[in-house]
Amino acid sequence: MSTGKYRKEHNCLNCGQTVEKHYCSNCGQANLELKENFWQFISHSIAHYFHFDNKFFQTLSPLLTKPGQVTLDYLAGKRAKVY
């Protein structure tokens, strides 16, 4: 979900269809306002830069303690842990 402001226009910028509410029923694109002021742009950029997936933190400990094992598991095709 996005936290941007929704557009007042009712045309989809992606496919050109009429948008009845917040999302296009044809392609699914959100009908969001594209223009951001400077501070919105900066905060958006910082948020994207520091956004980490939970898997990053689960991999960080083994990467620091057993980096060779992480690499060998990756090359062996073990990309997701089975619990």
The predicted-structure confidence for 70-83, as pLDDT tens digits, reads as follows: 889 888 888 777 65
Residues 19/13, Cβ–Cβ less than 8 Å: no
- What's CA 59's distance to the chain center, in Å? 19
Per-residue tokens: 57: 């933190």
What is the average pLDDT value for the chain, to the nearest integer? 84
Residue at 46: amino acid letter: I
Per-residue tokens: 46: 């910082």
Tell me if residue 71 falls in helix, strand or coil.
Answer: helix
**What's residue 53's pLDDT?**
77
Q: Residue 3: pLDDT band by 50, 70, 90 thresholds?
A: low
